[in-house]
Amino acid sequence: MPDTTRLLHLLDPERAHVAAVRLLAGWAATGAPMRPRVPNLPVRVAGLDFANPVGLAAGVDKDARAIPGWFALGFGMVEVGTLTPLPQAGNPKPRLFRLSEDGAVINRMGFNNGGQAAGIARAAAAKRTGVLGINVGANKDASDRVADYVTGVTAAARVADYVTINISSPNTPGLRDLQEGTALRDLLAACLGAKGKTPLFLKVAPDLSPAQIDDIARAAIDGGVDALIMGNTTISRPALASRHKGETGGLSGAPLRELARARLVDFRRATGGALPLIAAGGIDTGAEAYARIRAGASLVQVYSAMVYGGPGLPAYILRELDALLRRDGFACVADAIGADNG
Q: What is the DSSP string of 26-50?
A: HHHHTT-----------EEETTEEE
In degrees and rounded to multiples of 5, residue 82 shows phi and psi of -80, 135
pLDDT, residue 72, reads 93
| Rounded CA separation 255/253 (Å) | 6
Burial of 87 (0-12, 13-18, 19+ CB in 10 A): middle
pLDDT, residue 183, reads 87
> How would residue 182 be classed by pLDDT, with cut points 50, 70 and 90?
confident
100 part of the active site = no
pLDDT tens for 37-60 read 888 999 999 999 999 999 999 999
Which CATH architecture group holds 3-336?
A: Alpha-Beta Barrel (3.20)
Mean per-residue pLDDT for 316-336? 97
Q: Is the pLDDT of residue 174 over 60?
A: yes
pLDDT tens for 122-168 read 999 999 999 999 999 999 999 999 999 999 999 999 999 999 999 87
pLDDT, residue 54, reads 98
| Rounded CA separation 209/204 (Å) | 12
pLDDT, residue 297, reads 98
31 C-beta neighbours (distance < 10 Å), count: 8
Length of the chain: 342
Q: Which of 291, 272, 279, 275 is nearest to 340 (CA)?
A: 291
> To the nearest whole percent, how much of the chain has pLDDT over 90?
81
> To the nearest whole percent, how much of the chain has pLDDT over 70?
95
pLDDT tens for 279-318 read 999 999 999 999 999 999 999 999 999 999 999 999 999 9
Q: At what angle do helices 181-192 and 210-223 cross, to 10 degrees?
A: 20
Catalytic residue among 143, 168, 169, 242, which?
169
Q: Is the pLDDT of residue 4 over 70?
A: no
- The alpha carbons of the chain give a radius of gyration, in whole angstroms, of 18
Q: Which of 265, 164, 302 is nearest to 220 (CA)?
A: 164
